[in-house]
Amino acid sequence: MDTSQPLVVTLPARPTRGEVALLCAELGAAPPGDVVCEVGALAQADLSAVDALARLSLAAGRRGHRIRFHGAGPELRALLRLTGLDETLGLRPD
């Protein structure tokens, strides 16, 4: 992997636990670096989406990655603020 380019992972519209586990394994196998997680395809801003983001964030942190989430819509941003995870997940305005 070219360390100057971030690793990009994309959450599907309705990520299953298995899909999230595969993305976490991908993060675990990659050398530490920057990661961009595209979340714009998420169909619903619900607690399963929050769970997926939290799992990815934990997996990235364990491996020494710097992860940022890109493409979060207003509903997901509001839900993350409501749960108090917006700052924990490093969600920044797009």
Alpha helices per DSSP H over 30-88: 47-63, 74-83, 85-88
Say whether pLDDT at 2 is over 70. Answer: no
Q: What is the pLDDT of residues 7-56, one digit of tens each?
A: 999 999 999 999 999 999 999 999 999 999 999 999 999 999 999 999 99
What is the reported pTM?
0.88
CA dihedral 6, 53, 66, 69 (to 10 degrees): 50
Collapse the DSSP code of 43 into the 3-class scheme (helix H, G, I; strand E, B; otherwise coil) and give the result.
coil
